[in-house]
Amino acid sequence: MAESGTLPTGFGELEVLAVGTVLLVEALSGLSLNSLTILCFCKNPELRTPSHLLVLSLALSDSGISLNALMAATSSLLRRWPYGSEGCQVHGFQGFATVLASICSSAAIAWGRYHHYCTRSRLDWNTAVSLVFFVWLSSAFWATLPLLGWGHYDREPLGTCCTLDYSRRDRNFTSFLFTMAFFNFLLPLFITVISYRLMEQKLGKTGRPPVPALIAKAVPTVNAINYALGSEMVHRGIWQCLSPQKRERDREQ
């Protein structure tokens, strides 16, 4: 670990500052957009529907990713990891769990849209709550396994962020990586692609699958724009949240 005031080995001052700045911008933008989505869901009764519960789950998970990025940004700007080895394990667990929840929530949203548009039946609360519960329980389960010895959390090469230690090549980590990738990346991807393909065939137009992110920490902003802020109903909810006079008129009507 780099000491206070020193740079991580192999990195220059400008590189560390650039990483910290990018992480800070992504963290603040993701937190702002997803917090607005959560606020609107809580304040606007029109948005409290089973399908929007899936979007809320995505916003919560992406807010968690942004908080994780904020810690990484702080460490990068400090040029060291200040939270110790236990803090590294907590940071790795929290980041991995919210990333998995975000991926699975996106797949749940894709399935929910398929169910709504292709079966012409509304998603009920029991199904939506069960989906959200499963998404978070499954994500917590897989994120806990490295803490129990299958897989491992460690600092990234920069030394200011903790995640899965991909540098390991032993059988333990390889078996964890391939098993985890099947259930948490390939399976959700399959569900997402099939759902939008079926929607495309049913509706005769191109679906809108989630945008693959080159930088994982940018996913919260992308998701907030794509799923939450891209919804006409959420637009109305945001306007009502930000306009007190509009809320008063709606209550009078």
pLDDT given at position 199? 83
Once rounded to an integer, what is the mean pLDDT over residues 174-181? Answer: 92
Q: To the nearest whole percent, how much of the chain has pLDDT over 70?
A: 76
CA 145 to CA 100: how far, in whole Å? Answer: 13
Q: What domains, with CATH codes, occur in the chain?
A: 14-212 (1.20.1070.10)
* Short-list 214, 209, 176, 217, CA closest to 21: 217
Per-residue b or e along 125-158, where b marks 16 or more CB atoms closer than 10 Å to that residue's CB: eebbeebbeebbebbeebbeebeeeebbbbbbeb
**Contact in structure between 118 and 179 (CB atoms under 8 Å):** no
Tokens at residue 21, please? 């700045």
When the pLDDT of each residue in the chain is averaged and rounded to a whole number, the result is 79
Rounded to a whole number of angstroms, the distance between the first and last alpha carbons of the chain is 61
Going by pLDDT thresholds of 50, 70 and 90, the confidence category of residue 215 is very low
User: Is residue 163 scored above 50 in pLDDT?
Assistant: yes
pLDDT given at position 135? 96
What stretches of the chain show up as alpha helix (H) in DSSP?
A: 13-43, 50-78, 84-119, 125-148, 171-181, 187-203, 219-223, 232-242, 244-252
* Short-list 116, 143, 134, 147, CA closest to 52: 116
Once rounded to an integer, what is the mean pLDDT over residues 122-141? Answer: 94
Name the pTM for this structure. Answer: 0.80
Per-residue b or e along 193-231, where b marks 16 or more CB atoms closer than 10 Å to that residue's CB: eebbeebeeeeeeebebbeeeeeebbbbbbbbebbbbeb
User: Is residue 113 scored above 50 in pLDDT?
Assistant: yes
Going by pLDDT thresholds of 50, 70 and 90, the confidence category of residue 150 is very high
Q: Environment class of residue 191 by beta-carbon count within 10 Å: exposed (0-12), middle (13-18) or buried (19+)? A: middle
